[in-house]
Amino acid sequence: MRLINNLPENSDIKAIDISSERKRKYYYPRIDGNDAYDITIDRPKMVYITPEGNHRVLDDYGWVSRIPPGWSVLSWLPGTDQPHVVA
């Protein structure tokens, strides 16, 4: 099986290099009485986006975090001398 960005060649998952980011934060709103919360990922390297809207973020430590759809805001902190927007 041929892999491109660690995905099968015919995968419908989109891979984006985000290694220029120092931090990435997803904010979830208060829903049905549940408190608002956020998820912060330090030193993200890649984000894999599924057709359903899930984000799978690979960090520099090797951890992969699955971020479900439903977030209201996505923020990131670019690295020093890195582009502010990559995709």
Q: What is the pLDDT of residue 3?
A: 43
Residue predicted with more confidence, 87 or 1: 87
**Average pLDDT, stretch 64-77?**
94
Over residues 10-68, the pLDDT tens digits come to 688 999 999 999 999 999 998 888 899 999 999 999 999 999 999 999 999 999 999 99
**Cβ-Cβ contacts under 8 Å for 73 (sequence gap 6 or more):** 26, 27
CB 17 within 8 A of CB 76: no
How many Cβ atoms are within 10 Å of 39's Cβ, its own excluded? 15
Q: What is the pLDDT of residue 32?
A: 83
